[in-house]
Amino acid sequence: MLLAIDSSSLTAAAALVREGALVAEGFINNGLTHSQTLAPLIDSTLNAAGARPCDVRQVVVTNGPGSFTGLRIGVATALGFAEALGVPCAGVSSLMAAAYGALDCEGYVRAVMDARREQFYTALFHVKHGLLTRVTEDNALSREELLASTPSPCIWAGDAAERCAREGDRSLSQPYVSGYGVALCFLNGHFSGAENVNYLRRPQAERERLQTKPFCSERSELSSEETGANP
């Protein structure tokens, strides 16, 4: 049995899949942190399937892009679970996992996640006859770049789908990543090592530190000149 986990955005999802078929799936969007919700969600999904942890033979988790904290919690949880059971753990793109929610559609699928500050994590896919193919790599784009590079009509998927679907001739498919979407990525061969987390951008705290660094350096040099100290 395969256990699939997502905590790349505000929501958390888990699914159990056996031989490609969905056995049980759980989803939470209650505003609590993933450190509070993910482990109980996995436990409730196992209970819903009438399964035990020892029934799991493979763990799969979204390893980016997405929330820095959410990804760390999800990957750490998945790796810890897999290590305790002695089973392999793989990572998949959270954007591709979101796009897999649109397999019942035809045409272009734009997976998009809110990266804040009017930036979006995004990738373009195409669905035909139930088969998903990647058109672009995962990337971080501004709103203007995103809308300019998105074909119309297009299906939107991901946690920013509702927000972006209002722009022009576009329709909404799957607004969040599902556990089954995570599993489908793995089952179709789109995976890497779970520890290879793809943040795409530096964490917000680090970006803010780098933005203030030039000012701090300038003040340090000025203080050295004023006091006569060596720089």
Question: What digits encode the pLDDT tens for the residues 2-59?
Answer: 999 999 999 999 999 999 999 999 999 998 899 999 999 999 999 999 999 999 999 9
Question: What digits encode the pLDDT tens for the residues 185-231?
Answer: 999 999 999 999 999 875 554 445 545 555 444 444 434 333 343 33
Question: What digits encode the pLDDT tens for the residues 176-187?
Answer: 899 999 999 999
The DSSP element (H or E) to which 173 belongs, if any, is none
For the cut 50, the answer to whether the pLDDT of residue 133 exceeds it is: yes
Which phi and psi angles does 106 have, rounded to 5°? -130, 135
Q: What is the pLDDT of residue 19?
A: 96
Distance CA 169, CA 36 (A): 39
Residue among 169, 225, 140, 181 at smallest CA distance from 15: 181
Contact between residue 72 and residue 34 where contact means Cβ atoms under 8 Å apart: no
Q: Across the beta sheet with 12-18, what order do the strands follow?
A: 21-28, 12-18, 2-6, 58-62, 89-92, 192-193
Distance CA 97, CA 34 (A): 18
Residue among 210, 184, 209 at smallest CA distance from 93: 184
Close Cβ partners of 166 (under 8 Å, ≥ 6 residues apart): none
Distance CA 170, CA 215 (A): 44
Residue whose structure tokens are 């501004």: 142
Residue range 121-139: mean pLDDT, rounded: 97
**Can you give the length of the chain in residues?**
231
| SS3 category, 106 | coil
The DSSP element (H or E) to which 222 belongs, if any, is helix 204-227
Distance CA 135, CA 91 (A): 20
Question: What digits encode the pLDDT tens for the residues 61-82?
Answer: 999 999 999 999 999 999 999 9
